[in-house]
Amino acid sequence: MLGLLINFKEAQELEYMLKREMEELLLDFGDSRIDGVVKRAMEERYQIIFNLFRRIAPPEECTKYIRHKREHYR
């Protein structure tokens, strides 16, 4: 287990960067030109980023980025 001590401004910047990355991935999930294998890798990346986001963002912000089972590409 690792710990991280950041101030409020750094937390805001981290939240912003994670949101941007998740939004970009969400857009790419809708691209039919991307192969299923690549989308599975993108899904793994999305889950890691979302888990980081959950640690610093308020719950109401997190609900906007929850992916539902029907949205997953297996």
Strands (E), the chain: none
Structure tokens at 8: 């409020």
CB atoms within 10 A of CB 32: 4
pLDDT tens for each residue of 2-21? 888 999 999 999 999 999 99
In whole angstroms, give the CA distance from residue 6 to residue 25: 26
- pLDDT over 60 (residue 73): no
| pLDDT confidence tier of residue 35, bands split at 50, 70 and 90 | very high
Q: Is the dihedral of CA 42, 48, 51, 55 positive or negative?
A: negative
Question: Is 46 within 8 Å of 67 (Cβ atoms)?
Answer: yes
* pLDDT reported for residue 70: 61
Which residue in the block uniquely carries the two structure tokens 């989308």?
39
Q: Quote the pTM value.
A: 0.85
